[in-house]
Amino acid sequence: MNFDLTDERQMLQDSLRRFLRDNQEALSASTRLGNSDNTLGFDAEIWAKLAELGVIGALFSEEDGGFGGAGFDLTTVFEELGRAGAVEPLLDTAILGGGLIAALGTEVQKELVEQVIGGEVHLALAHGEPNSRYDLAQVETTVIHEGDELVLTGRKAVVVNAEAADYLIVSARETGVANDEEGISLFLVPRDSAGLSLRGYPLMAGGRAAEVDLDGLRLSAAARLGAAGAGFAALKRASNRAEVALVAETLGAMEVATDLTREYLLTRQQFGRPIGSFQALQHRMATLLIELEQARSAVINAAGHLEATAAEQALHVAAARNLVGRAGRLVAEESIQLHGGIAMTEEYELAHIAKRIVMAEHRFGDTDTQLERFIDQSAA
C-alpha cells in the first residue's frame, strides 16, 4: 500500500500547478459567464501550452502515444485543472474523444490521437440526446443504409466543446430499440460535414456546448469508429474514465473553495472580531474539511480501480461520484454561506469555483443516478 505520488506524477503536478497559477489571468478571462465574444469557450494559447507541457499526453498510455493514461495520471491532471477553475476541454477532446479513437480506431483514425496529444485537434462526443438524460444506452438517433452510404438522423443534446471540435464522435443506433446496449455505433464526423448543424451556447460553469442536429448526415462506412453496433462497451469505459477525471476536478475545486473560506474566516471582521472565531462557523468549517478528506479518498478509490474489472470500475466510479456529489454540494453551498454576500458576486473567485463544483453533477449522472448505479452494481 502506498499513497504517495510517483516522482513523474509529482513533477507533472508541480509543473501544471505552476503553469496554471502563472496564467491565472488568462484562465479567468476565458471562464467567466457571458464572455460571449469567445465562441471557442476557452483560451487557445493556454491549450497550446498545455499540450507543450505534456499535460494532454499524460492522459494517454504509451501504447497510444502518450506517457501515462492510468487512473492516477488522470486525477493528477484534473485535480490541478479543478484547482485553477480551468474550463479547457481536456475531458472532451482528450479523455472522451481521444480515448474513444485510441480504443476503437483504425491505424489511420488513430493518427488523430497523435494530433490531439500535440494540441492540434479538438474533439467532442455527441452522444447524449434530449430524451436520454444520463442513460448511456438510450440512443434514438438512427442510421439508415442507403447503398454504400450511411444516413444519420437525430439530435444530440448539450454536446460540450462541439463548436471548437474538428471532429465529432457521433453515436447512432444501427439495430435494436432505444434502450439496448447492443446496436449502438460510433462515427467519426468532421464538424463541418453537410447535414450536421450546431446551435452553440455558453455553459453555466464556463465553456461552451451545442445542440447538434443530424439531418440526413451522409457518411461512408469508413467513418465508423469500431465495429458496427458494438460501441457501448467503449462508451462505458470512456465515461468511467471521464467520471474519474471529473471527481478529481471537483476535488481540486473543493480544495480551493475550502481554502478561500478558511482565509476569509480568518480575515473578515464582524462584531469586532474575525468571523472565524465564532464557534458555530468553526464547527461548520471542520465539517467541510472532514468531507474534503472523504472526497479525496473516494477519488483515490475510483482512480485505483480504473484498471480493474468492469464491475469494480462501475462500483467505485459510482461510489466516488455519489460521495463527491454530496460533499461537493455541501462544500459549495457552505463556502458561499460562510462568506456571505461577497461570494454571490461573479468577480469573486469562489463564485466560479462553486459553479464548477455543482454543475459537474450534471454530466454523466447526478448523485441519485450514481446511487442507483451503485445499488445495481452491489446487487449484481
Partner 1 sequence: MDLNYSVEEQAFRAEVQEFLSQKLPKEMSDAIRVGRELGKEGHEKWHAILNEQGWLAPNWPKEFGGCEWNAVQRHIFEEECCRAHAPRIVPFGLAMLAPVLQKFGSKEQQDHYLPRILSGEDWWCQGYSEPGAGSDLASLKTRAVREGDHYVVNGQKTWTTLGQHANWIFCLVRTDPDAKQQSGISFLLIDMDTPGIEVRPIILLDGTHEVNEVWFTDVKVPVENLVGEENKGWTYAKYLLTHERTNIAGVGFSRAGLDAVKRMAGSQMHRGKPLSENPHFAARVARAEIDLMAMSTTNLRIISRAASGQAPGVESSMLKVKGTEIRQEINDLARRAAGAYAMPFVSEALEGGNEPAMGPEGSAATAPQYFNNRKLSIFGGSNEIQKNIIAKVKLGGGA
With respect to partner 1, which residue has the nearer C-beta, 108 or 379? Answer: 379
Strand partners, 208: 202
Judged by CB under 8 A, does residue 368 bind partner 1? yes
Least separation in angstroms between CB 108 and partner 1? 32
With respect to its own copies, which residue has the nearer C-beta, 290 or 308? Answer: 290
Least separation in angstroms between CB 51 and partner 1? 25
Q: Which of residues 198-257 bind partner 1 (CB under 8 A)?
A: 201-205, 209, 211
With respect to its own copies, which residue has the nearer C-beta, 86 or 275? Answer: 275
Give the C-alpha separation, 230 to 223, whole Å.
Answer: 14
Judged by CB under 8 A, does residue 309 bind its own copies? no
Long-range CB contact pairs, 65-70, < 8 A, 24+: 65/113, 65/114, 65/117, 66/117, 68/8, 68/9, 68/12, 70/303, 70/306, 70/307
Q: Select from 183, 130, 125 the least CA-distant residue to 154.
A: 130
Task: Pick one of its own copies, partner 1, none as the site partner of residue 2 (Cβ within 5 to 8 A by kind).
Answer: partner 1
Give the C-alpha separation, 78 to 68, whole Å.
Answer: 13
The position carrying cell 464548477 is: 356
In this chain, which of 63, 146, 379, 380 binds partner 1, going by CB under 8 A?
A: 379
- State the amino acid at position 249 in one-letter form: E
With respect to partner 1, which residue has the nearer C-beta, 109 or 250? Answer: 250
Structure-block grid coordinates of residue 370 = 450514481
Least separation in angstroms between CB 278 and partner 1? 7
From the list 105-113, 190-198, 236-244, 303-311, the region that binds partner 1 by CB under 8 A is 303-311
Helix (H) or strand (E) holding 354: helix 349-359
Judged by CB under 8 A, does residue 279 bind its own copies? yes
Q: Say how many residues touch partner 1, by CB under 8 A.
A: 90
Judged by CB under 8 A, does residue 280 bind its own copies? yes
Least separation in angstroms between CB 334 and its own copies? 13
Task: Pick one of its own copies, partner 1, none as the site partner of residue 190 (Cβ within 5 to 8 A by kind).
Answer: none
Structure-block grid coordinates of residue 195 = 447535414
Q: Select from 87, 129, 95 the least CA-distant residue to 355.
A: 87
Please say whether the beta carbons of 302 and 263 come within 8 A: no
Task: Pick one of partner 1, its own copies, none as the site partner of residue 39 (Cβ within 5 to 8 A by kind).
Answer: none
Judged by CB under 8 A, does residue 358 bind partner 1? yes
Give the C-alpha separation, 231 to 170, whole Å.
Answer: 11
Structure-block grid coordinates of residue 85 = 477553475
**DSSP reduced 3-state for 158:** strand
Judged by CB under 8 A, does residue 201 bind its own copies? no
Least separation in angstroms between CB 242 and partner 1? 14
Binding site for its own copies (CB under 8 A): 278-280, 282-283
